[in-house]
Amino acid sequence: MALEVSHVVGGYSQIPVLKDISFDVQDGELVGLIGLNGAGKSTTINHVIGLLTPHKGTITLNGVTIAQDSQAYKQQIAYIPETPVLYQELTLREHLELTMMAYDLDHDVAWATAHELLKTFRLDNKLDWFPANFSKGMKQKVMIVCAFLTQAKLFIIDEPFLGLDPLAVNDLLQLIEKRKQAGASILMSTHVLDTAQRYCDRFVLLHDGQVKTEGTLSELQAALPEAGESLNDIYLSMTKVDRS
């Protein structure tokens, strides 16, 4: 079992946003984290990457928690934020190099991977650019390249599909598929439900800081038989219950 989130209560302040949530991500599995704005997706992710400390509960990654050994924990994680953040003073080349240094990667092997990724995302001629000169989509691609440079066991991807061009979305999905085959786990939050429906193995539906349901699409369909066929329908019906 790769990632296990168990009974986590947490948030930015003393008032908890997450109210006792539990789910897991298995090896070689792509789990979609689905929820409305403010449902707690980003808060969950911030807990998993270690930016926030849970008030209660534990988050274990291949048997290690962040409190036990933060370096061993973080070594296994690669993160792609929703809003790309880059070091303003570093060029693209230096961002890649910094990633290699931080994850202690073999430079020759990593650069070979890097060049391949750069070519895929059409960034190979922009190695000496500063972030200020990149568009938002390009910055997002830089984030993807940096993340997939690593040999992380868990990829955490926050809303990857908005802002990327269709070609890049397709390339990203292929990259995810390849890493899944190699045994890595992926936790991905998104609002683009039809893409999620096609690619995710399992779904965690968050609502108001709680896990409403989780499971594969067929499990969800079985649990809510009158809701409809697609993830979209299931999700809408689930939120409707709450609104009325």
Partner 1 sequence: MTELFHERLQRHLREMAKYLRLVFNDFFVFALLFFLGGLGLGYSNILKNLKADQWWAPFVALLVLIITAQFGRYATLIEDADRVFLLPKERAMHAYFVQARKYSLVLAEIAQVIVMFILTPFLRVALGWSLMEVILLVVAQLVLKDALLRLDISSAYQVTGQRRMNHWAVKWLVSIIVLVPGLWLTPFLSFVLILFIDVFTWLWLEERWPKQQIRWREQIKIEDNRMLGIYRFFNLFTEVPMVAGTIKRRRYLDGILRLVKPTHSQTYLYLYSRGMLRGTEFSGLVVRLTVIGMLLLYFVRGEWLPIFLAALFIYLIGFQLLPFFQQYDDVVFTHVYPLTEQQQVKSFVKLVTIILAVAAALLWVIILIANPTVKTAGGSLVVELIEVWYLARIYTPRRLARAIKNRG
- Binding interface with partner 1 (CB under 8 A): 49-51, 70-75, 77, 79, 81, 85-90, 94, 97-104, 107, 130, 132
Q: How many angstroms separate the CA atoms of 58 and 64, rounded?
A: 10
Minimal distance, residue 25 CB to partner 1, in Å? 17
SS3 letters for 161-183?
CCCCCHHHHHHHHHHHHHHHHCC
Q: Which CB, 23 or 73, lies closer to partner 1? A: 73
Question: Which CB sits closer to partner 1, 14 or 181?
Answer: 14
Phi-psi region of 116 (alpha: psi -120 to 50; beta: other; left: phi over 0): alpha
Burial class of 36 by CB neighbour count within 10 A (0 to 12, 13 to 18, 19+): middle
User: Which CB sits closer to partner 1, 130 or 161?
Assistant: 130
Of the candidates 241, 151, 205, the one whose C-alpha atom is nearest the C-alpha of residue 36 is 205
**What distance in Å separates the CA atoms of residue 5 and residue 181, rounded to the nearest whole number?**
23
Q: Which is nearer to partner 1, 145 or 231 (CB)?
A: 145
Q: Kindly tell me which of 56 and 107 has the beta carbon lying closer to partner 1.
A: 107
In the complex, least distance from residue 68 CB atom to partner 1, rounded to whole angstroms: 14
Question: How deeply is 44 buried, as exposed, middle or buried, from its count of CB atoms within 10 A (0-12, 13-18, 19+)?
Answer: buried
- Shortest separation between residue 132's beta carbon and partner 1, angstroms: 7
**Token output for 149:** 């440079």
226 by Cβ neighbours in 10 Å (0-12 / 13-18 / 19+) ranks as: exposed
* CB 87, min distance to partner 1, A: 6
CB of 50 to partner 1, least distance (A): 7
Minimum Å gap between C-beta 161 and partner 1 is 20
Nearest to partner 1 of 93, 122 (CB atom): 93
When the beta carbons of 49 and 176 are compared against partner 1, the nearer one is 49
Output the CA angle 115-120-124, nearest 5 degrees.
45
Degrees to nearest 5, angle at CA 1 with 153 and 67: 70
Tokens of 123: 């960034």
CB of 102 to partner 1, least distance (A): 4
CA 225 to chain centre: 29
